[in-house]
A and B are shown apart, each in its own frame.
Chain A
Amino acid sequence: MSQLRERTTYTGRPAPDESVLQEERRSGRAPTVLRMLGAAAVLAVGAVHLQQYLGDHFNVVPIIGPLFVLNFAGATAIGLGLLVPAARMRFLHILLALGGIGLAATSFVFLFVSEHQPLFGFQDYGYRAGIVVALVAEAVAVVMLVGYLGARARARE
Protein backbone atom coordinates (compact mmCIF):
# COMPACT_ATOMS: atom_id res chain seq x y z
CA MET A 1 0.00 0.00 0.00
CA SER A 2 2.82 2.37 0.88
CA GLN A 3 4.24 1.79 -2.58
CA LEU A 4 1.07 3.19 -4.03
CA ARG A 5 1.33 6.35 -2.01
CA GLU A 6 2.62 9.20 -4.10
CA ARG A 7 6.04 10.49 -3.11
CA THR A 8 6.19 14.24 -2.84
CA THR A 9 8.89 16.81 -2.45
CA TYR A 10 8.67 19.65 -0.01
CA THR A 11 6.96 21.69 -2.75
CA GLY A 12 4.04 19.29 -2.80
CA ARG A 13 4.66 18.23 -6.42
CA PRO A 14 5.26 14.54 -7.26
CA ALA A 15 8.94 13.61 -7.70
CA PRO A 16 10.03 12.60 -11.21
CA ASP A 17 10.50 8.90 -11.95
CA GLU A 18 13.75 7.50 -10.69
CA SER A 19 14.45 6.11 -14.15
CA VAL A 20 14.26 9.61 -15.61
CA LEU A 21 16.70 10.89 -13.01
CA GLN A 22 19.09 8.03 -13.63
CA GLU A 23 18.96 8.61 -17.35
CA GLU A 24 19.65 12.29 -16.90
CA ARG A 25 22.55 11.61 -14.56
CA ARG A 26 24.11 9.23 -17.11
CA SER A 27 23.70 11.56 -20.06
CA GLY A 28 24.54 14.86 -18.45
CA ARG A 29 23.19 18.04 -19.90
CA ALA A 30 23.89 17.23 -23.53
CA PRO A 31 20.41 15.97 -24.46
CA THR A 32 18.76 19.01 -22.91
CA VAL A 33 21.08 21.41 -24.70
CA LEU A 34 20.62 19.61 -28.01
CA ARG A 35 16.85 19.55 -27.58
CA MET A 36 16.74 23.28 -26.81
CA LEU A 37 18.94 24.19 -29.76
CA GLY A 38 16.91 21.95 -32.02
CA ALA A 39 13.71 23.57 -30.79
CA ALA A 40 15.10 27.03 -31.47
CA ALA A 41 16.15 26.01 -34.97
CA VAL A 42 12.72 24.52 -35.72
CA LEU A 43 11.03 27.70 -34.51
CA ALA A 44 13.35 29.70 -36.77
CA VAL A 45 12.33 27.53 -39.73
CA GLY A 46 8.68 28.32 -39.06
CA ALA A 47 9.37 32.00 -38.56
CA VAL A 48 11.21 32.42 -41.85
CA HIS A 49 8.41 30.66 -43.74
CA LEU A 50 5.88 32.97 -42.13
CA GLN A 51 7.96 35.99 -43.09
CA GLN A 52 8.13 34.82 -46.69
CA TYR A 53 4.38 34.20 -46.71
CA LEU A 54 3.44 37.60 -45.34
CA GLY A 55 6.39 39.84 -46.18
CA ASP A 56 7.40 38.54 -49.61
CA HIS A 57 3.87 37.92 -50.93
CA PHE A 58 4.17 34.15 -51.06
CA ASN A 59 0.56 34.13 -49.92
CA VAL A 60 -0.43 34.45 -53.58
CA VAL A 61 1.56 31.44 -54.78
CA PRO A 62 -0.66 28.37 -55.27
CA ILE A 63 0.22 25.28 -53.24
CA ILE A 64 3.50 26.79 -51.98
CA GLY A 65 1.72 29.53 -50.03
CA PRO A 66 -0.49 27.14 -48.03
CA LEU A 67 2.50 24.84 -47.50
CA PHE A 68 4.34 27.76 -45.93
CA VAL A 69 1.48 28.26 -43.50
CA LEU A 70 1.47 24.56 -42.63
CA ASN A 71 5.22 24.71 -42.14
CA PHE A 72 4.85 27.61 -39.71
CA ALA A 73 2.06 25.90 -37.78
CA GLY A 74 3.89 22.59 -37.57
CA ALA A 75 7.22 24.17 -36.66
CA THR A 76 5.62 26.23 -33.92
CA ALA A 77 3.87 23.23 -32.39
CA ILE A 78 7.00 21.07 -32.56
CA GLY A 79 9.37 23.78 -31.36
CA LEU A 80 7.24 24.79 -28.38
CA GLY A 81 6.64 21.17 -27.46
CA LEU A 82 10.36 20.50 -27.42
CA LEU A 83 10.89 23.42 -25.07
CA VAL A 84 8.63 21.99 -22.36
CA PRO A 85 10.76 20.50 -19.50
CA ALA A 86 11.72 16.88 -20.02
CA ALA A 87 10.40 15.29 -16.86
CA ARG A 88 6.82 15.39 -18.08
CA MET A 89 7.39 14.97 -21.80
CA ARG A 90 9.86 12.13 -22.21
CA PHE A 91 8.14 10.05 -24.87
CA LEU A 92 6.51 13.02 -26.54
CA HIS A 93 9.90 14.67 -26.96
CA ILE A 94 11.07 11.72 -29.01
CA LEU A 95 8.06 12.03 -31.29
CA LEU A 96 8.48 15.79 -31.57
CA ALA A 97 12.17 15.40 -32.35
CA LEU A 98 11.33 12.97 -35.16
CA GLY A 99 8.68 15.38 -36.40
CA GLY A 100 11.14 18.26 -36.30
CA ILE A 101 13.70 16.25 -38.25
CA GLY A 102 11.10 15.36 -40.86
CA LEU A 103 9.83 18.92 -41.18
CA ALA A 104 13.31 20.46 -41.42
CA ALA A 105 14.68 17.83 -43.80
CA THR A 106 11.66 18.04 -46.09
CA SER A 107 11.79 21.84 -46.12
CA PHE A 108 15.50 21.75 -46.92
CA VAL A 109 15.06 19.33 -49.80
CA PHE A 110 12.02 21.14 -51.23
CA LEU A 111 13.79 24.49 -51.08
CA PHE A 112 16.90 23.14 -52.71
CA VAL A 113 14.87 21.49 -55.48
CA SER A 114 12.85 24.67 -56.12
CA GLU A 115 16.07 26.59 -56.65
CA HIS A 116 16.95 24.39 -59.60
CA GLN A 117 13.64 23.36 -61.17
CA PRO A 118 9.91 23.94 -60.76
CA LEU A 119 8.36 22.43 -57.65
CA PHE A 120 4.57 22.28 -57.81
CA GLY A 121 5.02 24.64 -60.75
CA PHE A 122 6.96 27.14 -58.66
CA GLN A 123 10.61 28.03 -58.93
CA ASP A 124 12.66 30.26 -56.65
CA TYR A 125 15.51 32.42 -57.82
CA GLY A 126 18.82 33.02 -56.11
CA TYR A 127 19.94 32.63 -52.52
CA ARG A 128 18.61 35.74 -50.88
CA ALA A 129 18.86 36.26 -47.12
CA GLY A 130 15.57 34.54 -46.34
CA ILE A 131 16.59 31.42 -48.24
CA VAL A 132 20.01 31.26 -46.58
CA VAL A 133 18.44 31.63 -43.14
CA ALA A 134 15.95 28.88 -43.94
CA LEU A 135 18.60 26.47 -45.19
CA VAL A 136 20.87 27.09 -42.19
CA ALA A 137 18.02 26.77 -39.68
CA GLU A 138 16.81 23.55 -41.32
CA ALA A 139 20.29 22.03 -41.31
CA VAL A 140 20.88 23.02 -37.68
CA ALA A 141 17.51 21.58 -36.67
CA VAL A 142 18.27 18.22 -38.27
CA VAL A 143 21.74 18.02 -36.74
CA MET A 144 20.65 19.07 -33.25
CA LEU A 145 17.60 16.82 -33.11
CA VAL A 146 19.43 13.80 -34.50
CA GLY A 147 22.11 14.48 -31.91
CA TYR A 148 19.45 14.71 -29.21
CA LEU A 149 17.94 11.35 -30.15
CA GLY A 150 21.38 9.80 -30.26
CA ALA A 151 22.31 11.18 -26.84
CA ARG A 152 19.03 9.86 -25.40
CA ALA A 153 19.63 6.43 -26.91
CA ARG A 154 23.16 6.28 -25.49
CA ALA A 155 21.96 7.29 -22.03
CA ARG A 156 19.47 4.43 -21.94
CA GLU A 157 22.10 1.79 -22.77
Chain B
Amino acid sequence: MRSLNAVVVGAIGLAVLAAGCGGAIPSSDGGPATLKMARSTDGRVLVDARGQSVYLFDKDESGESYCNGACAAVWPPLETSVAPQAGAGVAGGALGTMKRDDGDLQVTYRGHPLYYYAADASTPGKTKGEDIEQFGSSWYLVGSHGQPVEPESGGGSNSNSNSGSNGGGGGY
Protein backbone atom coordinates (compact mmCIF):
# COMPACT_ATOMS: atom_id res chain seq x y z
CA MET B 1 0.00 0.00 0.00
CA ARG B 2 2.91 2.29 0.78
CA SER B 3 4.26 1.77 -2.74
CA LEU B 4 0.85 2.64 -4.16
CA ASN B 5 0.74 5.84 -2.15
CA ALA B 6 4.16 6.70 -3.51
CA VAL B 7 2.98 6.10 -7.06
CA VAL B 8 -0.08 8.32 -6.65
CA VAL B 9 1.83 11.08 -4.89
CA GLY B 10 4.49 10.90 -7.56
CA ALA B 11 1.92 11.16 -10.32
CA ILE B 12 0.28 14.16 -8.71
CA GLY B 13 3.63 15.82 -8.16
CA LEU B 14 4.56 15.25 -11.78
CA ALA B 15 1.27 16.71 -12.90
CA VAL B 16 1.76 19.81 -10.78
CA LEU B 17 5.25 20.22 -12.19
CA ALA B 18 4.03 19.72 -15.72
CA ALA B 19 1.21 22.17 -15.19
CA GLY B 20 3.81 24.82 -14.58
CA CYS B 21 5.57 24.03 -17.81
CA GLY B 22 4.00 26.28 -20.36
CA GLY B 23 5.00 27.62 -23.69
CA ALA B 24 4.71 24.46 -25.76
CA ILE B 25 1.71 25.75 -27.71
CA PRO B 26 0.13 29.14 -27.77
CA SER B 27 -2.65 29.70 -25.29
CA SER B 28 -4.47 32.88 -24.50
CA ASP B 29 -3.34 34.24 -21.15
CA GLY B 30 -6.68 35.89 -20.45
CA GLY B 31 -5.41 39.45 -20.74
CA PRO B 32 -6.38 41.94 -23.48
CA ALA B 33 -5.60 40.47 -26.89
CA THR B 34 -3.67 42.63 -29.35
CA LEU B 35 -3.70 41.94 -33.07
CA LYS B 36 -1.62 43.35 -35.89
CA MET B 37 -0.81 42.68 -39.49
CA ALA B 38 2.46 41.01 -40.44
CA ARG B 39 4.00 39.92 -43.69
CA SER B 40 4.30 36.20 -44.33
CA THR B 41 5.03 33.94 -47.26
CA ASP B 42 1.27 34.04 -47.91
CA GLY B 43 1.07 37.82 -47.88
CA ARG B 44 -0.05 40.13 -45.09
CA VAL B 45 -1.79 38.17 -42.39
CA LEU B 46 -3.22 38.75 -38.96
CA VAL B 47 -1.05 37.80 -35.98
CA ASP B 48 -1.14 38.41 -32.27
CA ALA B 49 1.18 40.68 -30.30
CA ARG B 50 3.85 37.97 -30.12
CA GLY B 51 3.73 37.36 -33.87
CA GLN B 52 1.90 34.05 -33.63
CA SER B 53 -0.47 33.20 -36.43
CA VAL B 54 -4.21 33.24 -35.93
CA TYR B 55 -6.71 31.49 -38.13
CA LEU B 56 -10.35 31.46 -39.08
CA PHE B 57 -12.52 28.37 -39.41
CA ASP B 58 -14.56 28.15 -42.58
CA LYS B 59 -17.38 26.40 -40.74
CA ASP B 60 -18.00 29.37 -38.44
CA GLU B 61 -20.79 31.66 -39.52
CA SER B 62 -22.60 34.75 -38.31
CA GLY B 63 -19.90 35.33 -35.69
CA GLU B 64 -20.62 31.99 -34.03
CA SER B 65 -17.93 29.42 -33.29
CA TYR B 66 -18.43 25.83 -34.37
CA CYS B 67 -15.17 24.69 -32.88
CA ASN B 68 -15.65 23.10 -29.49
CA GLY B 69 -14.46 20.07 -27.57
CA ALA B 70 -11.58 18.31 -29.29
CA CYS B 71 -11.54 20.98 -32.00
CA ALA B 72 -10.94 23.71 -29.42
CA ALA B 73 -8.14 21.66 -27.92
CA VAL B 74 -6.28 21.41 -31.24
CA TRP B 75 -7.33 24.94 -32.32
CA PRO B 76 -7.31 26.97 -29.09
CA PRO B 77 -9.60 29.98 -29.40
CA LEU B 78 -7.96 33.39 -29.11
CA GLU B 79 -9.58 34.66 -25.95
CA THR B 80 -9.54 37.96 -24.15
CA SER B 81 -10.76 39.27 -20.86
CA VAL B 82 -11.52 42.76 -22.16
CA ALA B 83 -11.95 44.46 -25.52
CA PRO B 84 -9.15 43.47 -27.91
CA GLN B 85 -6.67 46.08 -29.00
CA ALA B 86 -5.72 46.97 -32.56
CA GLY B 87 -2.02 47.00 -33.47
CA ALA B 88 -0.26 48.06 -36.64
CA GLY B 89 -2.37 47.67 -39.76
CA VAL B 90 -5.55 46.67 -37.96
CA ALA B 91 -8.66 48.85 -37.87
CA GLY B 92 -9.99 49.02 -34.33
CA GLY B 93 -13.57 48.78 -35.53
CA ALA B 94 -12.89 45.42 -37.16
CA LEU B 95 -12.14 43.77 -33.84
CA GLY B 96 -14.87 42.33 -31.66
CA THR B 97 -15.69 39.54 -29.28
CA MET B 98 -18.17 36.71 -29.01
CA LYS B 99 -19.12 34.58 -26.03
CA ARG B 100 -18.26 30.91 -26.30
CA ASP B 101 -20.31 28.06 -24.86
CA ASP B 102 -18.06 27.98 -21.80
CA GLY B 103 -18.62 31.69 -21.19
CA ASP B 104 -15.17 32.87 -22.26
CA LEU B 105 -14.80 35.76 -24.67
CA GLN B 106 -13.26 34.91 -28.04
CA VAL B 107 -11.78 37.58 -30.27
CA THR B 108 -13.36 38.12 -33.68
CA TYR B 109 -12.01 39.98 -36.69
CA ARG B 110 -14.61 41.28 -39.14
CA GLY B 111 -17.00 38.77 -37.60
CA HIS B 112 -14.67 35.75 -37.81
CA PRO B 113 -13.82 34.03 -34.53
CA LEU B 114 -10.05 33.64 -34.30
CA TYR B 115 -7.98 30.64 -33.25
CA TYR B 116 -4.41 29.50 -32.72
CA TYR B 117 -3.17 26.16 -34.00
CA ALA B 118 -1.56 23.74 -31.54
CA ALA B 119 1.01 22.56 -34.07
CA ASP B 120 2.42 26.11 -34.35
CA ALA B 121 3.75 25.59 -30.82
CA SER B 122 4.21 29.23 -29.73
CA THR B 123 6.65 29.91 -32.55
CA PRO B 124 6.14 33.31 -34.23
CA GLY B 125 5.88 32.99 -37.96
CA LYS B 126 4.72 29.39 -38.01
CA THR B 127 1.73 28.88 -40.29
CA LYS B 128 1.18 25.14 -40.12
CA GLY B 129 -2.58 25.61 -39.97
CA GLU B 130 -2.88 27.43 -43.27
CA ASP B 131 -5.25 25.82 -45.75
CA ILE B 132 -5.74 22.50 -44.02
CA GLU B 133 -8.93 20.56 -43.35
CA GLN B 134 -9.73 19.40 -39.88
CA PHE B 135 -12.94 18.91 -37.93
CA GLY B 136 -15.09 19.06 -41.02
CA SER B 137 -13.95 22.24 -42.69
CA SER B 138 -11.01 24.35 -43.76
CA TRP B 139 -8.75 26.65 -41.78
CA TYR B 140 -7.04 29.75 -43.13
CA LEU B 141 -4.82 32.61 -42.13
CA VAL B 142 -6.68 35.90 -41.96
CA GLY B 143 -6.13 38.78 -44.40
CA SER B 144 -6.46 42.48 -43.70
CA HIS B 145 -10.09 42.55 -44.82
CA GLY B 146 -10.97 39.46 -42.80
CA GLN B 147 -10.79 37.25 -45.86
CA PRO B 148 -9.31 33.74 -45.81
CA VAL B 149 -5.78 33.88 -47.15
CA GLU B 150 -5.24 31.55 -50.06
CA PRO B 151 -1.78 29.96 -50.21
CA GLU B 152 0.60 31.69 -52.59
CA SER B 153 1.00 28.45 -54.57
CA GLY B 154 -2.71 28.66 -55.42
CA GLY B 155 -2.97 24.87 -55.51
CA GLY B 156 -6.40 24.73 -53.92
CA SER B 157 -7.35 23.29 -50.59
CA ASN B 158 -4.89 20.91 -49.05
CA SER B 159 -6.98 18.11 -47.55
CA ASN B 160 -4.64 17.09 -44.81
CA SER B 161 -6.96 15.84 -42.17
CA ASN B 162 -4.44 13.82 -40.19
CA SER B 163 -1.44 16.05 -40.29
CA GLY B 164 -0.63 19.57 -39.37
CA SER B 165 2.12 20.02 -41.89
CA ASN B 166 1.77 21.71 -45.22
CA GLY B 167 3.68 24.11 -47.38
CA GLY B 168 2.91 27.11 -45.23
CA GLY B 169 5.67 26.83 -42.66
CA GLY B 170 7.56 29.98 -43.55
CA GLY B 171 8.30 32.85 -41.25
CA TYR B 172 7.42 36.50 -41.48
Interface set, chain B 1-16, CB cutoff 8 A to A: 3-4, 7-8, 11-12, 14-16
- Report yes or no: A61 in contact with B134, Cβ–Cβ below 8 A: no
Stretch of B38-46, B82-90, B115-123 contacting A (4+ beta carbons < 8 Å): B115-123
Interface string of A58-93 (1 = CB under 8 A from B): 111111000000000000000000000000000000
In the assembled complex, which residues on chain B have CB atoms less than 8 Å from the CB atom of A128? 69-70
In the assembled complex, which residues on chain B have CB atoms less than 8 Å from the CB atom of A125? 68-69, 72-73, 102
Residue of A at shortest CB range from B72? A125
B22: contacting residue among A61, A102, A121, A124, CB under 8 A: A121
Stretch of A8-16, A28-36, A39-47, A109-117 contacting B (4+ beta carbons < 8 Å): A109-117
Query: Is B25 part of the binding interface, using a Cβ–Cβ cutoff of 8 Å?
Result: yes
B18: contacting residue among A105, A120, A146, CB under 8 A: A120
CA distance A102 to B76 in the complex (A): 29
CA distance A116 to B35 in the complex (A): 26
CA distance A133 to B19 in the complex (A): 23
B24: contacting residue among A102, A122, A126, CB under 8 A: A122
With A57-B134, A101-B4 given, is the CB distance from A121 to B122 under 8 Å?
yes
Which of the four size classes fits the interface of chain A? 20 to 34
In the assembled complex, which residues on chain A have CB atoms less than 8 Å from the CB atom of B73? 56, 58, 61, 122-125
Report the number of A-B residue pairs with Cβ-Cβ less than 8 Å.
103
Interface string of A120-145 (1 = CB under 8 A from B): 11111110101000000000000000
B26 → chain A closest CB, angstroms? 8
In the assembled complex, which residues on chain A have CB atoms less than 8 Å from the CB atom of B147? none
B118 → chain A closest CB, angstroms? 4
In the assembled complex, which residues on chain B have CB atoms less than 8 Å from the CB atom of A130? 70
With A57-B134, A60-B163, A121-B25 given, is the CB distance from A110 to B15 under 8 Å?
yes
- Report yes or no: B118 in contact with A60, Cβ–Cβ below 8 A: yes
In the assembled complex, which residues on chain B have CB atoms less than 8 Å from the CB atom of A151? none
B12: contacting residue among A60, A61, A109, CB under 8 A: A109
- Report yes or no: A57 in contact with B24, Cβ–Cβ below 8 A: no
6 contacting pairs across A/B (C-beta < 8 A): A56-B70, A60-B119, A61-B25, A109-B11, A110-B18, A120-B24
Residue numbers of A with Cβ under 8 A of B are: 52, 54, 56-63, 98, 101-102, 105-106, 109-110, 113, 117-126, 128, 130, 146, 149
Closest 7 CB pairs of A and B: A121-B24, A60-B164, A56-B70, A60-B119, A128-B69, A106-B11, A125-B72
